[in-house]
Every structure is written in structure tokens, then in C-alpha cells.
Chain A
Amino acid sequence: MTGLDGEIGTEEEGMSAHSPCKNLPSFSSSAEKEQLQVEVELKLLEALEIYPLVKLCGIHRHFVLFGLTEYLQRSLKRQFSPSEVLQLLDRFYNLDMLEPEYEDIELLNQEEDFCLPRSFFVKEELLNSTTIGGI
């Protein structure tokens, strides 16, 4: 089920039949839908200012994609799935050509022994952390 890279197969939640985004590849050519399409593309380009393309490869890519998806959802006020967002991006960019940033590579080269922060060992501090699942 999960490969080496840990990609879990997506399971699309039942989305509203009215959402044009769901059928992106098989778009009809009606003017309205085209307009929406342009809107989506513009928002996507806007989103890339915050979530740079280069971060979409490398170890953080899933979280970056998550952020991108949420951005689109918020600005366009409708559901998007991460795979749709990837599809959208794929129209503009050759995602396969992306290479991880230097920082990413550096991180993986800096081996370090694990250690627990001291706060874990101070009883008082352990007791203070009573909020379970707090934000």
C-alpha cells in the first residue's frame, strides 16, 4: 500500500457535482468555465509566491503542496484536492525537472545523534504540559 517513498493512494472524497474543478482535464469550452479556469490559474501563480515551485520537490514537498491546496481553497472558496493542484501545476511546469534545494540536501547530510530536549526531563515542565492536543 505504501511504497518506499510512502505515497498513499488518494481516495477522493465525494465532491460536489457542481464543482467544475473536479473535471479539470475534460473541460467544456463554455465561456463561464474558461473564466473560472483563468481565475484558478491566476490564483495558482499567486500562490507560488508563497510556496515556491522548488519546494515541491525535496522532503517538505507534501507540506508545501498541502499549503498550496489550502491557499487555493481559501482564495477560490471551493474544494481542491492535492492531486488536482499537482495536475494544475503540471500544465505550466515540468515538475519532473525540479531539483531539491541545496538546503534540503544539506539537511540530509548532517547526521546527528538524537537527543531529547532538557524540558522532557524536568518534572515540573512535564507536569505543566497538561494541554493534550492543544494548538
Chain B
Amino acid sequence: MQFMLLFSRQGKLRLQKWYVPLSDKEKKKITRELVQTVLARKPKMCSFLEWRDLKIVYKRYASLYFCCAIEDQDNELITLEIIHRYVELLDKYFGSVCELDIIFNFEKAYFILDEFLLGGEVQETSKKNVLKAIEQADLLQEKTDNAYHSKSFMGYKKAY
């Protein structure tokens, strides 16, 4: 996989993960182009498209689009399920995840992704093992007096 982008229906980028070296300028250009292309597609259309010399696999979950760029020989369907497994991981961790969880806890979204995918390849597919790694990390962390519950603070509603 070359990169993964999460963006909202309004085209706001929520998470970006690049597995190939690109300049910031190039990344912005790709993001702009892809967000536009994917948002322009109708709901029933197929989840794959050719773009430059890559294959794009995307899927929409509630207000969020998950979009992966894979190479020619990569398997589209298994990539769709990579996306789904990532969503499941987020869901399990946050408890019915929604876009706001990813906005307010973007660093967690990155950490979970790193446990699941590394260097663009699937590292660990077991939900238990991935979450165990994250939880261990959570256990390791010291108590801070600012312990803070984002949900009650924001009082936002579920979108997913």
C-alpha cells in the first residue's frame, strides 16, 4: 500500500498515512485530486478505480471516506477488508467510533494504525493482539491529573 487517507464528506482530511517518500507539495496535490475524484463518485459505484498508475480502493463509513492507494499487483478485495478491520479496531477502541473521535484523538488513530499496518503491509490481523498492544500502552502511561473524558466534555452525537 502506498498511502491511506481518511476524509470527510466535506472533503476535510482527517488522517493521512504515507508509506512512500513524497514531498509535502506532492502529498497535498494527491490528496486534493483524490478527494475530488472519490467524492464525485455515486454511492452504488464500484469501490475501485484506476488512478495514475495506482489502484484506489475506497469505502465510506457514515460521514468518513477511507481511501487506500495500492499497487498494480495488490489485491483490491483484501484491501477493502483492511479498511474494514481498521474501522473495527477504531470502533472497539473508542466504543462506536465516530468522526469526532478521530478528530479529537487523532494521535490514537495513528497509533492503532501503526499496530495494524506497518510500512504499508498488514502487520497483525488479530483484533485482540492489536488492541492488546494499544491497551498495554495505555496501562503503561502515568496517571495525569488532567484525566479527561472527551465524550462528556464535547457531548457530541454519534455519526457512525
Is B truly associated with A? Answer: no
